[in-house]
Amino acid sequence: MHTKKSPVRRVWKWFASRNTIIAFLLLFTVAAIMFSNRNFVSFNSIHNIFRKVAQDNGVAALGIAFVILLGQIDLSVGSTLALSGVISVLVANAGYPLLGVGAGIAVGVLAGFITGLMVAKMKISSWIASLAMMLALRSVVLLITNQQPIPLQSAIFMDLGQVKWFKVSIMVYIYLALLFISMFISRHTRFGTGLYAVGGNEEAARMMGLKVDKIKILAYVICGAICAVGGIMMASRMRGAQPLAGTTWETYAIASCALGGLKLTGGEGKFSGVFFGSLIIAILNTMFNYSPSINTWWQNILMGALVLISVGLQTDAIKLRLPKAAKHTAEVNK
């Protein structure tokens, strides 16, 4: 007899990435105990963690997650973010702040479209195509800015990075909006279903009649658009465009996805996991900031180790060693 799932259970299944949530809760508990004298559990501290996710690499992680679900990669997210920020500031300084936002997003869409074409139509490896795009876009940024910051002159544009609603930065609201939109697209649209199908088995997806090339291009376009929003947010927060903005952000974006349970070979993972993966990185950053005696280079070493562990747990070699009962439980929980 088929039993109807409760609303709470349906929401949990839609939102949950259990292993990542457990890791996040454990890390948060450890940080709260270690830094109780710094009011780690206070509203301001938690708000700063969420703001760090929204302002740093959390947005880029959402964008690159669309591509990773395909089993592809995009190394140009940081450069796309930088160029979008530069273009939006230049247009805003000319007296058109709203047009500046649109121009910045258009740059991200165009960059994603070109990369998607190279991957889908020209059959170039996503690593090579996105690496070429990364180098090209970064060079354009350095040429336009002459390797110097461009101050933001538009008061309206500048306010975007400073406004708070109910004591919460507007950037946190923008990030959460992007998160829930991404979650909805991935779970409740034909495109989202296509992402998982292509990432799981591209040839099978073609045989099912899915337009694989179109799905790939659209995934890169969405990635570029989301990263462009991140670039605009950064330009507003920093009151100008920075030529080196977004440098190495692709590394942390990929790390957020890996920590969040997205399978880097494609076809598995949830955007809620990306969210909690970004929170884990933000908490680690906060912990290192609270411990000035520890060399910050250890943070990168720890991050690399965590990513290796996360990816290692996804491999078939480890899965084959799981007891049959554990495998059955994993299948039931899907």
pTM for the model stands at: 0.86
pLDDT per residue as tens digits for the range 15-36 = 446 778 888 889 899 999 988 8
Please give the average per-residue pLDDT across 48-62, as a whole number.
90
Residue 318 confidence (pLDDT) above 70: no
Give the span between the Cα atoms of 24 and 154, in whole angstroms: 39
Spatial CB neighbours of 208, under 8 Å, sequence gap ≥ 6: 197
Beta-bridge partners for 240: 151
Largest pairwise CA distance in the chain: 69
Q: Are 286 and 38 within 8 A, CB to CB?
A: no
Q: Is the pLDDT of residue 315 over 50?
A: yes
Structure tokens at 224: 């570029």
**Res 212 pLDDT > 60:** yes
Indicate the pLDDT class of residue 157, thresholds 50, 70 and 90: confident
